[in-house]
């Protein structure tokens, strides 16, 4: 399989603890030495020994004090050279360290890839095959959901635009190679340089502003859903610890969605309070309900709130129906009032019982939210995927930008188009992780649409 040197975050994220980044592959040790400056001067990092030192960026500026360990092949988990960097687990620091390695050439590991390598390299017993498959599948599914949730994000959309623009460039180049006999005019070098420069400018602009990223900036979306007046807005306020949403006893007060940011156990969240779900004739409120339903599709978690003190109503069922395909945590509010029995249609979900009035159950609720968003995995690996998912976008753009630089250089030195195509193909391949593959068919399609070609 691949022999790339891969990197991933090996510990669940959270404020205050130690965070570990792990690399595996033949370049791992070399790259560590680019950034890690041990306190004690050593000629060689010994295998299986923990060193204290500073981690600097490529300009030599300190990022964090860290401990690093090198585990040389084959005495490592993957039987390849493995490097770990133990840093102060804050997300910002970990992401900056990760970015350094990606800029040096490391590839973000695919779901389950460390374990896959361990298995393929004979480190794990053959009888563990099923377990390895289960891990790969579970983590791929979770990564797939995250990717789907981000498809709508502005970075994803921009990357798709880049793909189109680079594919257009490649089509021009390929037409030049494959159809020398045709009576068509080709773009001149200056035009190609301008087009490539424009794309690269935009990519670099995004890269320069990437450090906050969507997830850290906006958080994972947690949607609060339920029929009117079950206490959704109160729940939002309790979680935030202050009164932000309008709270009244009149059903339907929250007519639009309200969004607030919150950090739980180091995981940045975006709480979204929605209009209550009910059939309504009020056009303003109806619009709110429609928006809520759209939000459900992109939510990382839905808190379905019901009134635990009274039987299920038709509107509760409407809310249930709306979040059928989402990940749901059932929240039974009003524990301060006498409890009514739970309708079995709601018993499929994990449930917490709370009172927004008395504050009962709020801490268990917070724990459940973190656990569910982390994909039920005690290792927290899925949560790492979530938090670092925007790093895949960044990685794709870094590689793409490198390829375009090579293209521009080759073009300026007057190289024949088939060499230029090599660089553009690599640029498209880099984006392919996000956008899907750009096949030769796609390029040919562009050529035939643009040029009148054929005997």
Kindly state whether residue 133 participates in binding other proteins, applying the rule CB under 8 A.
Answer: yes
Nearer to other proteins, 349 or 419 (CB): 419
Nearer to other proteins, 338 or 454 (CB): 454
Kindly state whether residue 110 participates in binding other proteins, applying the rule CB under 8 A.
Answer: yes
Residue window 336-375: x/- pattern of binding to other proteins, with contact defined by CB under 8 A: ----------------------------------------
Kindly state whether residue 136 participates in binding other proteins, applying the rule CB under 8 A.
Answer: yes
CB of 268 to other proteins, least distance (A): 27
Kindly state whether residue 185 participates in binding other proteins, applying the rule CB under 8 A.
Answer: no
Kindly state whether residue 416 participates in binding other proteins, applying the rule CB under 8 A.
Answer: yes
Q: How far apart are the C-alpha atoms of 391 and 322, rounded to whole Å?
A: 32
User: Which residue among 19, 112, 219, 375 contacts other proteins (CB under 8 A)?
Assistant: 112
Nearer to other proteins, 346 or 419 (CB): 419
Residue window 60-99: x/- pattern of binding to other proteins, with contact defined by CB under 8 A: ----------------------------------------
User: Which residue among 54, 57, 179, 253 contacts other proteins (CB under 8 A)?
Assistant: 179
Which one of 37-45, 313-321, 323-331, 414-422 is the stretch in contact with other proteins (CB under 8 A)?
A: 414-422
- Cis check: omega of the bond before 446, within 30 degrees of 0: no
- 115 CB-near residues (< 8 Å, 6+ apart): 124, 132, 135, 136
Is the distance from CB of 374 to CB of 380 less than 8 angstroms?
yes
User: Which residue among 111, 213, 226, 228 contacts other proteins (CB under 8 A)?
Assistant: 111
Cross-sheet strand order for the sheet of 82-88? 36-38, 50-56, 62-71, 82-88, 18-24, 6-9, 107-108
User: Which residue among 43, 44, 126, 250 contacts other proteins (CB under 8 A)?
Assistant: 126
Nearer to other proteins, 136 or 408 (CB): 136
Nearer to other proteins, 26 or 339 (CB): 26
Kindly state whether residue 182 participates in binding other proteins, applying the rule CB under 8 A.
Answer: yes
Kindly state whether residue 116 participates in binding other proteins, applying the rule CB under 8 A.
Answer: yes
What is the size of the binding site for other proteins (CB under 8 A)? 44
Kindly state whether residue 2 participates in binding other proteins, applying the rule CB under 8 A.
Answer: yes
Q: How far apart are the C-alpha atoms of 284 and 427, rounded to whole Å?
A: 46
Which one of 16-24, 188-196, 274-282, 438-446 is the stretch in contact with other proteins (CB under 8 A)?
A: 438-446
Kindly state whether residue 256 participates in binding other proteins, applying the rule CB under 8 A.
Answer: no
User: Which residue among 15, 65, 321, 418 contacts other proteins (CB under 8 A)?
Assistant: 418
CB of 425 to other proteins, least distance (A): 7
Kindly state whether residue 448 participates in binding other proteins, applying the rule CB under 8 A.
Answer: yes
User: Which residue among 22, 35, 425, 438 contacts other proteins (CB under 8 A)?
Assistant: 425
Residue ranges that bind other proteins, judged by CB under 8 A: 1-3, 110-113, 116, 119-120, 126, 129, 132-134, 136-137, 140, 174, 177-183, 415-419, 421-422, 425, 439-440, 443-445, 448, 452-455
């Amino acid at each position: 399989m691949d022999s790339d040197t891969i990197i991933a975050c090996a510990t669940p994220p959270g404020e205050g603890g130690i965070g570990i980044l792990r690399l595996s592959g033949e370049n791992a040790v070399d790259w560590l030495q680019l950034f890690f400056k041990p306190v004690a001067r050593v000629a060689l990092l010994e295998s299986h020994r923990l060193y204290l030192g500073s981690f600097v960026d490529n300009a030599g500026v300190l990022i964090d004090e860290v401990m690093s360990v090198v585990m040389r092949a084959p005495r490592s988990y993957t039987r390849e050279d493995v490097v770990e960097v133990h840093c102060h687990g804050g997300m910002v620091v970990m992401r900056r360290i990760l970015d350094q390695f990606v800029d040096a050439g490391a590839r973000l590991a695919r779901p389950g890839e460390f374990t896959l390598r361990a298995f393929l390299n004979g480190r794990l017993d053959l009888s563990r095959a099923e377990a390895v498959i289960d891990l790969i599948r579970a983590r791929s599914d979770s990564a797939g959901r995250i990717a789907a949730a981000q498809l709508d994000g502005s970075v994803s959309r921009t990357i798709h635009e880049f793909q189109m623009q680079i594919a257009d460039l490649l089509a021009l180049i390929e037409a030049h190679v494959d159809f020398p006999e045709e009576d068509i005019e080709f773009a001149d070098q200056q035009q190609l340089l301008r087009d490539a420069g424009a794309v690269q400018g935009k990519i670099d602009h995004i890269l320069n502003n990437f450090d906050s990223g969507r997830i850290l900036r906006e958080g994972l979306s947690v949607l609060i859903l339920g029929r009117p007046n079950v206490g959704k807005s109160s729940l939002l306020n309790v979680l935030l610890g202050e009164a932000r949403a309008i709270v009244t006893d009149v059903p339907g007060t929250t007519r639009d969605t309200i969004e607030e940011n919150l950090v739980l156990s180091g995981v940045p969240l975006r709480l979204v309070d929605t209009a209550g779900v009910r059939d309504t004739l009020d056009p303003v409120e109806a619009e709110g309900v429609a928006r809520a339903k759209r939000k459900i599709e992109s939510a990382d978690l839905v808190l379905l709130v019901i009134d635990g003190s009274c039987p299920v109503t038709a509107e509760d069922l409407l809310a249930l129906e709306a979040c059928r395909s989402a990940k749901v945590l059932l929240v039974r509010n009003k524990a301060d009032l006498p409890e009514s029995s739970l309708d079995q249609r709601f018993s499929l979900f994990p449930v917490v019982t709370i009172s927004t009035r008395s504050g009962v159950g709020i801490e268990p609720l917070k724990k459940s939210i973190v656990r569910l968003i982390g994909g039920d995995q005690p290792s927290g690996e899925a949560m790492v995927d979530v938090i670092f998912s925007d790093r895949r976008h960044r990685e794709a753009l870094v590689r793409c930008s490198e390829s375009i630089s090579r293209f521009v250089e080759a073009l300026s030195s007057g190289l024949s188009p088939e060499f230029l195509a090599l660089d553009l193909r690599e640029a498209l391949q880099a984006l392919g992780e996000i956008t899907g593959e750009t096949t030769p068919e796609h390029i040919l399609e562009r050529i035939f649409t643009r040029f009148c070609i054929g005997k």
